[in-house]
Amino acid sequence: MHIDILTLFPEMFSGILNTSILQKAQEKEKFTYDLVNFREYTTDKHQKVDDYPYGGGAGMVLTPQPIFDAVDAKMKNTKTTPRVILMCPQGEPYTQKKAEELAQEDHLIFICGHYEGYDERIRKHLVTDEISIGDYVLTGGELGAMVVIDSVVRLLPDVLGNKASAPEDSFSTGLLEHPHYTRPANFRGMKVPNILLSGDHAKIKSWRKNQSLQRTYERRKELLQDFPLSEEEKEFLSRLEKD
């Protein structure tokens, strides 16, 4: 996978892209990236990339020309049709399902805006996806793009050391993940559940599934509305409700 990131502040990405899992993914040649300062594509003699909004109002709006030209330049260098992603608080709420969808692509282009907003022609005629990481406003799209890139790259084949890690993540199964424990078995009087020390893998698997169901029921009950429950799982949740 190749990822292009259009931003006025490329220096913001140096840490996250060259640390931890993302760095290892590059070393394994699972993805490459290019940081593009779209100010370099402006035809304005003062290097401006924003202007006052038509009709008046507060703030400045990113002009279409430098962003369109930057995307055009990136599309000339690819054999595939990239997904062009606009980071925007008005966009589609980001989910694990969306991360899994984007992880199937060969080329992603992220547009990270600043100021009051984007010229609407960018939204209507250039992008394929608008993504929001939450119902709040940041100073720019960079932090949101980092979140999306991290969540996508870790899903690429062989990026994570344990192949079972990603499929068992919270939301990947449709439920929140079960609790985890490690050594020591007894820490300050707080003990690991005996079932996890039993060596009975069938019982451990059942316990983890029930714990996942219980955690989802207690914390994100709405996730269970469309989850395909077995009869056994329905009975377990029924007992939870009675308790």
57: domain CATH number is 3.40.1280.10
Check residue 236 and give its pLDDT: 95
Q: What is the mean pLDDT of residues 39-49?
A: 96
Q: Which two tokens stand for residue 123?
A: 């939204």
Active-site annotation holder among 10, 64, 89, 179: 89
Distance of CA 69 to the CA centre of its chain: 26
- The token duo for 170 is 């919270």
Instruction: Answer yes or no: is pLDDT of 116 > 90.
Output: no
Using 50, 70 and 90 to split pLDDT, how confident is the model at 114? confident
Catalytic residue among 50, 82, 142, 154: 154
Query: What's the distance, CA 15 to chain centroid?
Result: 17
- Model confidence at 78, pLDDT cuts 50, 70, 90, reads confident
Number of other CB atoms surrounding residue 229 within 10 Å: 12
Residue 169 confidence class, pLDDT cut points 50, 70, 90: low
Instruction: State whether 33 and 138 are in the same domain.
Output: yes
Rounded average pLDDT over 198-204: 96
Per-residue pLDDT at 143? 97
Host domain of residue 27: 2-153
Specify if 164 maps to a domain.
no
What is the arithmetic mean of pLDDT over 184-191?
95
Would you list which residues are annotated within the binding site for S-adenosyl-L-methionine? Answer: 113, 133-138
Same-domain pairing of 145 and 68:
yes
Choose the weakest-confidence range: 37-46, 73-82, 123-132, 201-210.
73-82
Tell me what pLDDT residue 139 has: 92
Q: 230 lies in a domain?
A: yes
Is 169 a residue of the active site? yes
Q: Give the total number of structural domains in the chain.
A: 2
> Which pLDDT value is given to residue 223?
92
What pLDDT, on a 0 to 100 scale, did the predictor assign at position 57?
A: 87
Active site residue 10: no
Rounded mean pLDDT of 116-121? 91
Ordered alpha helix ranges (H), 44-141: 64-76, 96-102, 120-125
> Catalytic residue at 235?
no
Is 154 annotated in the active site? yes
Same domain membership, residue 177 and residue 141: no
Q: Give the confidence band of 77 by pLDDT, cuts at 50, 70, 90.
A: confident
pLDDT of residue 231: 95
Quote the mean pLDDT of the chain. 93
Establish if 53 belongs to a structural domain. Answer: yes
Kindly state whether residue 161 falls inside one of the protein's structural domains. no
pLDDT mean over 207-225: 94
Establish if 165 belongs to a structural domain: no
Catalytic residue among 69, 105, 169, 233: 169
Query: What's the pLDDT band for 151 if we cut at 50, 70, 90?
Result: very high
Q: What is the pLDDT of residue 167?
A: 64
Residue 158 lies in a domain: no
Claim to verify: residue 35 and residue 79 sit in the same structural domain? yes
Amino acid 79: pLDDT:
84
- Whether 171 has a pLDDT exceeding 80, the answer reads no
Whether 217 contacts 176, CB under 8 Å: no
Q: Report pLDDT for 174.
A: 87
Catalytic residue among 116, 130, 177, 233: 116
In a domain, residue 83? The reply is yes
DSSP 189: T
Question: Which pTM value belongs to this model?
Answer: 0.88
